[in-house]
């Protein structure tokens, strides 16, 4: 397969596309700071995590919780200005922040960085810094700093640092603290970790790791879906995985481990494999219904 040049890969992750585009609201990004740390602080003043809201003194109404269903950046921005029309750099009080989750923080950081010409992409996997001994379903932003791909967790503000006490720079997350889904799969296959330790709440196991692997491949192809969007190759909750499926996910995990080296193959597989490619309609497992994208 033809090797894609490093320049072509970086160009691909500079372009706003599908979920990452601010669309008609791109002017909202005017005047934002240039550095990742400052952009993360901006996001922390715009968003509040659905499941961590009580730490900020917020009890969320059903209408606010519904904001977490926003997929594209343009929809999240519409919710933000709907609460408060001031420039994005103006921090909102918790009661005026839009409800989201790790995926929304990561997606918006990707969009803001791409707007400044910085290659960036969202990654789906598991955070090892929330619950001791567990790998919790999570997303981060991965951006090119001119020398390497750096993983930044824009969600972790001072309040969450006090809650979770990470012992590393959350804007340069070590790869054993945020484990991309493919590496989680391989670690379980190698017997180094237990798939039962990967997931969220009561949901965990091989099926969950495999689902996040498919989501990560979609994100590498600029389709950053909701954490509960289900399609194609994702196993059903609790479903057994046969040897053919194990081998398929083994291959996918190996490709995502070094997404640059396998960029062309990941793009081709995504385009050709209906089990990987996000279809026009996915199943929203939270709302228990099919939804058009």
* Domain residue extents for the chain: 6-292
Distances (CA, A) of 8 to 3, 13, 45, 179, 264: 10, 9, 34, 26, 10
Distances (CA, A) of 292 to 53, 78, 275, 289: 29, 19, 17, 10
**How many Cβ atoms sit within 10 Å of the Cβ of residue 101?**
21
User: CA-based Rg of the chain, rounded to a whole angstrom?
Assistant: 18
Task: Rounding to the nearest 10 degrees, give the CA dihedral for residues 97, 173, 254, 185.
Answer: -70
At 43, is the secondary structure helix, strand, or coil?
helix
Long-range contacts of 155-160 (CB under 8 A, 24+ apart): 155/43, 155/44, 155/47, 155/49, 155/102, 155/105, 155/106, 157/41, 157/44, 159/52, 159/55, 159/56, 160/49, 160/52, 160/55
User: Quick one: which of 44, 175, 16 has its CA closest to 102?
Assistant: 44
Structural contact between residues 101 and 64, judged by C-beta atoms closer than 8 angstroms: no
pLDDT of residue 4: 79
Q: How far apart are CA 113 and CA 99, in angstroms?
A: 21
Q: What is the pLDDT along the chain (293 residues), one digit of tens a residue?
A: 456 799 999 999 999 888 889 989 999 999 999 999 999 999 999 999 999 999 999 999 999 999 999 999 999 999 999 999 999 999 999 999 999 999 999 999 999 999 999 999 999 999 999 999 999 999 999 999 999 999 999 999 999 999 999 999 999 999 999 999 999 999 999 999 999 999 999 999 999 999 999 999 999 999 999 999 999 999 999 999 999 999 999 999 999 999 999 999 999 999 999 999 999 999 999 999 999 98
Q: How far apart are CA 108 and CA 39, in angstroms?
A: 10
How many Cα atoms within 13 Å fall on the side-chain side of residue 233? 27
**How many Cβ atoms sit within 10 Å of the Cβ of residue 16?**
17
For residue 51 the two structure tokens come to 């499941």
Q: How far apart are CA 254 and CA 105, in angstroms?
A: 27
pTM of the model: 0.96
Q: How far apart are CA 127 and CA 104, in angstroms?
A: 16
Structural contact between residues 26 and 74, judged by C-beta atoms closer than 8 angstroms: no
């Amino acid at each position: 397969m033809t090797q894609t040049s490093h320049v072509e890969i970086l160009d691909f992750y500079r372009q706003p596309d599908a979920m990452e585009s601010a669309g008609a609201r791109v002017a909202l990004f005017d005047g934002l700071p240039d550095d990742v740390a400052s952009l993360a602080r901006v996001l922390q003043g715009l968003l509040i995590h659905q499941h961590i809201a009580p730490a900020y003194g917020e009890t969320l109404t059903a209408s606010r919780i519904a904001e977490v269903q926003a997929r594209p950046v343009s929809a999240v921005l519409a919710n933000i200005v709907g609460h408060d029309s001031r420039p994005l750099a103006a921090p909102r009080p918790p009661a005026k922040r839009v409800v989201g989750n790790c995926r929304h923080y990561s997606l918006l950081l990707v969009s803001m960085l791409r707007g400044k010409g910085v290659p960036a992409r969202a990654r789906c996997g598991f955070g090892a810094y929330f619950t001791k001994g567990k790998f919790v379903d999570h997303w981060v932003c991965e951006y090119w700093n001119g020398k390497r791909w750096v993983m930044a967790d824009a969600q972790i503000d001072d309040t969450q640092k006090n809650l979770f006490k990470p012992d590393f720079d959350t804007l340069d997350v070590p790869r054993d603290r945020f484990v991309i889904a493919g590496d989680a799969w391989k670690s379980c296959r190698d017997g180094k970790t237990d798939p039962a330790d990967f997931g969220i709440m009561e949901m965990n196991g091989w099926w969950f790791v495999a689902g996040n692997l498919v989501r990560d491949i979609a994100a590498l192809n600029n389709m950053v879906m909701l954490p509960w969007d289900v399609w194609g190759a994702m196993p059903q909750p609790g479903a057994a995985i046969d040897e053919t499926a194990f081998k398929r996910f083994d291959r996918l995990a190996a490709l995502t481990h070094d997404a640059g080296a396998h960029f062309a193959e990941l793009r081709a597989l995504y385009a050709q494999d209906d089990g990987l490619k996000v279809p026009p309609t996915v199943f929203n497992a939270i709302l228990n219904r099919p939804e058009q994208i």
